[in-house]
Amino acid sequence: MNQSLNRSHRRSPRNSHGTRASSETMTRIRFWICVYLILWLIEGGLRRWILPGLATPLLVVRDPVLLVIYWLTLKSGVFPKNTLISATFFLGAVSWFFAVLLGHMDPLVASYGVRCDFFHVPLIFVMGRVLTRADVDSVCRISLWISIPFTLLLIAQFYSPQSSVLNRGVGGDLSGAGFSGALGRFRPPGTFSFINGPASLYPMLCCAWFYLVYRRKISLLLMGLSGGAILLAIPFSISRSLFIGELIAICFGVAAIALGGAMSSRLIFRSLLGGGVAIALFCCIPGTSEAFAAFADRWEKSTTNRGGVQEAIVGRVVEGIVRPFADMPVMGYGSGISTIVGQKLATGTRGFGYSEGEWGRILMEGGLVLGPLVLSYRISILCVLAWATCKAARRRDWCSLPILAVSAQMILLGQWGQATSLGASMITGGFCLAASRPASVEHRTRRSPPPRTRRLARHTSRRRDHTPGIPNRPPGIQAPDVATGYN
């Protein structure tokens, strides 16, 4: 990845002075973005296995990295400036003062709430501006290789008791980190603190798989092994959220390939062959049928027996969006009070406060005035991502469509008060913007002559067009650049 990040031919974004930031600075920013991604993936493991005594401070382990990223972008003049960034600072300040003066009046809880709702959001636009398509290719390829051992870890945790080291809970809790699943099995968390980590990770991996397939930058070996690992995670996770997230990514990924004209019989054959072989290999693991039975049992008890998908899933989501408006207080209780950390700081007990759902949390904390404003702010972020995807679609580039679909669910409904869900929302949003950028013709950029040579070439070409005895070109046909050979 470092080699791909250090390629000198990439064009850096312009800073506030209209000049381009140095390649060294851009490389450092990309490096710290990679550190952010790695910490998001392993911070649960740090809290459970490596540094259990620091479980609480490690909740904000990515925040210093984020400060470094912001400082580097501000120093180089490439920090994004738009209406949403201004709204981030404004709403963050208003939410903090409102919570301290009229809400719960706890500055620490208010700071944590503002941190969850606003502090990480500029990273979406930093990633969209700094990361190139080559960076996205590299991260997606590495992620798919990681999916194979990660799925094997899920399988090992599935068959291990909760008292084992693999299932050790946050802070070294011997009762385990797995949530109850079905048939006496627990939902494994992987390297995260809870099951919501894999439920966020695997839809993102599914998007990465379709992104590389769309761009034809994936080998048959990686396509098969990673595809099998992503699908096999569904039964071993015993997670409905993971299954629905992957289903959404698959539907929009297939749509992107079809709309982008990348669908072919060869691609279908390679996908089916690679996926079939990988699943066959993974199914050779003893007891795989038990995982499928556990997932089927949980689906039946939690979905089929509760009115099916329409009531148990869709109805639950709709209720979580509509019902909070009826229970919304006029003034609100203050930012951060309905997060787990905020409740712990304010009351000394663990819980979700006034609401567990994300829309309920926002409306309960912000009240009649701030609550709808914060919700509109979240919807505006999604609109920016959708607009970037639409502009890419006008160029017949649909590879960011599945990323947008997964981002929509995380940005609108994701529990930003929980560290893993917050990080997943920022990462998917940033990669959605980065994948929507125009794919630059890199070899053309490398072979381009200096500006003076290009001007001379255009001048020479213009003179040749007006040379007597040489017929003029038809309208709309541009003279080729004699120096580069490109039109």
| 69-92 per-residue burial string, b: 16 or more CB within 10 A, e: under 16 | bbebbeebbbbbeeebbebbeebb
Does 162 fall in a domain?
Answer: yes
Does 457 fall in a domain?
Answer: no
Please tell me the predicted confidence (pLDDT) of residue 487.
Answer: 37
Nearest residue to 473 via CA among 487, 454, 455 = 487
Does 471 fall in a domain?
Answer: no
Please tell me the predicted confidence (pLDDT) of residue 21.
Answer: 64
Contact 99, 110 (CB under 8 A): yes
Q: How many CB atoms lie within 10 A of CB 381?
A: 20
Please tell me the predicted confidence (pLDDT) of residue 456.
Answer: 47
Does 449 fall in a domain?
Answer: no
Q: DSSP H helical segments within 260-287, as ranges?
A: 265-282
Please tell me the predicted confidence (pLDDT) of residue 280.
Answer: 74
Taking the C-alpha atoms of residue 130 and residue 29, their distance in angstroms, rounded to an integer, is: 8
Does 474 fall in a domain?
Answer: no
Task: Work out the end-to-end distance of the chain between its first and last CA atoms, rounded to an integer number of angstroms.
Answer: 33
Give the largest CA-CA distance in the chain: 90
Residues (pLDDT < 70) of the chain are 1-21, 281-283, 285-286, 440-487
Please tell me the predicted confidence (pLDDT) of residue 400.
Answer: 93
Does 467 fall in a domain?
Answer: no
Taking the C-alpha atoms of residue 424 and residue 197, their distance in angstroms, rounded to an integer, is: 9
Nearest residue to 126 via CA among 252, 26, 201 = 26
Contact 212, 141 (CB under 8 A): yes
Helix (H, G, I), strand (E, B) or coil at 220: helix
Question: Looking at the 3D structure of the chain, how many domains does it have?
Answer: 1
Please tell me the predicted confidence (pLDDT) of residue 440.
Answer: 58
Please tell me the predicted confidence (pLDDT) of residue 354.
Answer: 82
DSSP H or E segment with residue 182:
strand 179-182
Does 482 fall in a domain?
Answer: no
Taking the C-alpha atoms of residue 159 and residue 245, their distance in angstroms, rounded to an integer, is: 24
User: What is the per-residue pLDDT across 282-338, written as a single tens digit (0 to 9) for each?
Assistant: 667 667 888 888 999 898 888 887 777 777 788 888 888 888 888 888 888 999 998
For residue 84, give both structure tokens. Answer: 């949403």
| 439-450 per-residue burial string, b: 16 or more CB within 10 A, e: under 16 | beeeeeeeebee
User: What is the per-residue pLDDT across 349-373, written as a single tens digit (0 to 9) for each?
Assistant: 787 778 888 999 999 999 998 999 9
Please tell me the predicted confidence (pLDDT) of residue 473.
Answer: 45
Taking the C-alpha atoms of residue 387 and residue 26, their distance in angstroms, rounded to an integer, is: 25
Does 385 fall in a domain?
Answer: yes
Sorted by sequence, the CB contacts under 8 Å of residue 343 that are 6+ apart come out as 337, 349, 350, 351, 352, 353
Residue 115: give the domain boundaries: 2-439
Report which DSSP code applies to 286. T
Q: How many residues does the chain have?
A: 487
Please tell me the predicted confidence (pLDDT) of residue 308.
Answer: 77
